[in-house]
Structure 1
Amino acid sequence: MDEFSSIYIVEKTQDFLIVIFALIGLPGNAAVIWLLGIQRHKKPISVYILHLATSDFLFLCCLLTFYLWKLIDRFPYEYYIYIHALGMFFYVTSLLMLSAISTERCLAVLFPIWYRCHQPRHMSAVLCSLFWALSLLLTILLHISHCFLFQFVQLYMGMRLFIASLVVILFVVLCGSNLVLLVRMLCGSTRLPLTRLYVTIGLTVLVFLLCSLPLCIISAWDDVIHYKIGYFNFMVLENTGYLLSSVNSSANPIIYFFVGSFRQKQHQGHQRWSLKVVLQKALEDGGEAGESGERLPQESVEMS
């Protein structure tokens, strides 16, 4: 078997796995969107999670559309650039939402009085709208500069530099904010309780850094990587990035429901919780009192 045949088999296997993970992740994200969307009074963290699930859902729709048509060899490749631009729009939005979640919790820990008393009421909804608008603007500018590369070469190079800088900044924000939370939990005289919310955020960020960040790096420096390793190897590498990103977008709802249902039998006997209650538990900012199942005072205040 020659090298071309091996690359072809690997690429088709990756396409199949991406379709499988997209089919797994779509129902989970749809459930999160439905359960959070029907809530009348949403906490800021619920607003961010709702928009994150929406962007993940739409990103998986783009992956499913492209790779399913690619598997049956009927995808019109003249539309590839549009599907790619749309998918990257939702991908960047997810990255911005996740960074906002980590930053919001970091501010709540470092400046608790300001967060509880002086935070604008609809700040989370306004920020989510700005993130959608910013992602759309970046996608449109990059798409136009790429389609008309020779006419807008300076715009294209400027957009690539800006996006690469944005990736670095968001990576620093994600790592820095979660490092602050980890230090506050492990060190100091007043340690933070290990609540379900912090576990949810920590696992979500960890899965993103392991699974979704490679696609961000590949997309930001694709010209350099393409030149170094060649066309066919780059296609396999890019497919690997999309495969890992599909795992990330599919894993987020699993994380929410796993953290929300963790130790439920110990606290509630054999009573089963609905998906809505499980999701609310995963986003609770309250400590657990251990084996007795009693809530700590902080959680009692939050739940009241």
Structure 2
Amino acid sequence: MMETNTTNLSLNYMDSGYEDTQEDRKYWCITENYPTLIISGVFLFVSLCGLVGNMVVIWFLGFQMKKNPFTVYVLNLSIADFSLLLLSLVILTLHFISAVNCFSPFGYNVINFILTILPVFCYYASMYLLTAMSMERCASVLFPIWYRCHRPKRLSGIMCGVLWALAGLVSLAFIGCPLHFPRDCLKVFHGFSTANFLIFAFFPLLSNLSLFIRLRCGSQRQHPGKLYVAILLSMIFMFIFGLPPTLGFLLDAFDIPPYIFFIFSLPAPLNSSINPVIYFLVGSYRQRRFQGSMKVALRRVFEEKATSEEESRVPEDTMVETTV
């Protein structure tokens, strides 16, 4: 009887000590990773808002509006951004859980592989689609007669398919290069990342800015239109939010800590979340104030060309009645 009591006491003591150790470890994990928890929580909220915004854009362009050359690009862009945000949500949730429990799920090769390749695929697809849309918009402004008369009808769909395939090939290169060229692969990635950012972010931004300045400050001033303003703002934010991931990838050659690389990659969800906000703000801005619902704002942005052509044929009084 005495032995049984002693055994029970010792077991109770061991159990209480184990629980204390677990609680102390969890407390230490939370305090040690407190900045990571805050950052992950903030960007989790941003990713959720971006998911909702892109879902609204996909629903509107896919089911509520007649397609035109630019809405095809925007629809594919929103799908790429939605996919990237969904993956970012998973990655940030895993970071949050690992920061609380001192357990890293990224040590598993399958999980690490999926959560590395798929975001790269969606990120590059988003960048390529936005660049193609901006360059086509520039062509429609600079060469309006050629654009209306000689542009292939299915060019937008073909370009979107080619750009999705290009993003897939780039993702496959990220897989195959370490297997076949392990020594020179890091240098290739650094060079490709820099060239990719310059070609698909920096140079298109310069061309769009120069065209905007030409339209607004030239001898014959023209209003660039809501769609062009939305595309230009998207290009500006893609450059701003795309620069940190590119720098983080370049700094990875100097063996920076993993949390630094994680911080540099965080602006990618911001880039994917900002586009629906841009569409709403540009479409709802009228008479120096913001007005109208999300659906009305999207219609003003993406149906601008059709409405401007109709308004040029309608008398001024009736035009005011139809636009109110």
TM-score normalised by length of structure 2:
0.76
Whether 1:259 aligns to 2:319 is no
Whether 1:210 aligns to 2:233 is no
Q: Which residue pairs with 1:250 in the alignment?
A: 273
> Of residues 215, 223, 226 in structure 1, which corresponds to 2:252?
223
Q: Distance in 2 between matches of 1:127 and 1:211?
A: 24
What root-mean-square deviation, in Å, do the aligned CA atoms of Structure 1 and Structure 2 show?
A: 3.1
Q: Distance in 2 between matches of 1:213 and 1:6?
A: 31
**CA drift at 1:200:** 1.0
SS of the equivalent of 1:38 reads helix
Residue pair 1:204, 1:255 contacting (<8 A) in 2 also: yes
Q: Which blocks of at least 5 consecutive residues in structure 2 are unaligned?
A: 1-28, 320-324
Letter of the aligned partner of 1:300 in structure 2?
E
Q: Distance in 2 between matches of 1:124 and 1:113?
A: 18
SS of the equivalent of 2:266 reads helix
Q: Which residue pairs with 1:241 in the alignment?
A: 264
**CA drift at 1:6:** 8.7
Q: Which blocks of at least 5 consecutive residues in structure 1 are unaligned?
A: 288-294
> Of residues 288, 297, 301 in structure 2, which corresponds to 1:282?
301
Identify which of structures 1 and 2 has the higher relative contact order when contacts are C-alpha pairs closer than 8 Å and 6+ apart. 1
Return the structure number with greater helix share: 2
Q: Distance in 2 between matches of 1:223 and 1:257?
A: 37
Q: Which residue pairs with 1:96 in the alignment?
A: 128
Residue pair 2:252, 2:261 contacting (<8 A) in 1 also: no
Change (3 A) 1:84 1:175: same
Residue pair 1:11, 1:239 contacting (<8 A) in 2 also: no
Q: Which residue pairs with 2:9 in the alignment?
A: none
**CA drift at 1:87:** 0.4
Change (3 A) 1:153 1:30: same
**CA drift at 1:240:** 2.6
**CA drift at 1:34:** 0.9
> Of residues 160, 167, 192 in structure 1, which corresponds to 2:197?
167
Largest Rg, 1 or 2? 2
Letter of the aligned partner of 2:281 in structure 1?
F
Q: Which residue pairs with 2:165 in the alignment?
A: 133
- Count matched residues: 280
Q: Distance in 2 between matches of 1:13 and 1:300?
A: 50
Whether 1:68 aligns to 2:93 is yes
Q: Which residue pairs with 1:81 in the alignment?
A: 113
